[in-house]
Amino acid sequence: MRTFGLVGRSLAHSFSQTYFTQKFYQLGLDDYRYELFELAAASELPGLLARHPDLAGLNVTIPYKEQVWPYLHDVASSAARVGAVNVIEIQADGRLIGHNTDYVGFRESLRTFYPTPAAGGRALVLGTGGAAKAVAVALRELGIAYWLVSRDIMGPHLTYADLTPEVLAAHPLIINTTPLGTYPNVAACPPLPYAALTPQHYVYDLVYNPRETLFLRQARETGAHTKNGFDMLERQAEAAWAIWNGNN
């Protein structure tokens, strides 16, 4: 039996188990399984590995993409570049190698959604966590200038109070990397002046459950283009699968 899984604090929203279970079925891998491992703290990772010696690879989600770092033996260049880990490769000798496939998944998904103008456009990235770091790397590779937006009024980033209609007008691409609106808390959304959005805006939400968050619905109702994070999920998952099979 080869076991893979997802570690995070609350995993009720995740489709990863369904995605990989269907993949194993399609490939005829009857001795493969994918489990969800809710951990109260990242420090529980070594204990999880000890209890499940059949683990062959892990995905990592909120809030542990940065917190698992001390428990790894090494990190690949992708994780070092982003500063966050969303995939753990478990080698035959037990060494744990951290990778980041989020930024590649987002970058390739964005290519199919946002028609980057010659000048590169400008973006607002809502959030400053591990997912935001991955998005920032992808935007830099695509030549898109961006501002991070944080709730922290003492930080170096924009705050939500700074997001005036004029600021939104100057940033046609808006990306939510926060968990706001994720099932079951579907009534939450980032505090934006949604009425200032237009059909010239492209609004991307990394959340994929529900399919249309309140954030995306309010953007769609203004005529903005919208996209959820399921395409990114699929792309990063396939990149993780390649890593676990030694194809990275």
Residues 6+ apart with CB under 8 A from 169: 196, 198
CA distances from 227 to 115, 131, 218 (A): 13, 16, 12
3-state secondary structure 171-237: CCEEEECCCCCCCCCCCCCCCCCHHHCCCCCEEEECCCCCCCCHHHHHHHCCCCEEECCHHHHHHHH
Could you say which of 23, 65, 133, 227 is catalytic? 65
Q: Are strands 55-60 and 74-75 parallel, antiparallel or unpaired?
A: unpaired
65 classed as catalytic: yes
Catalytic site residues? 65
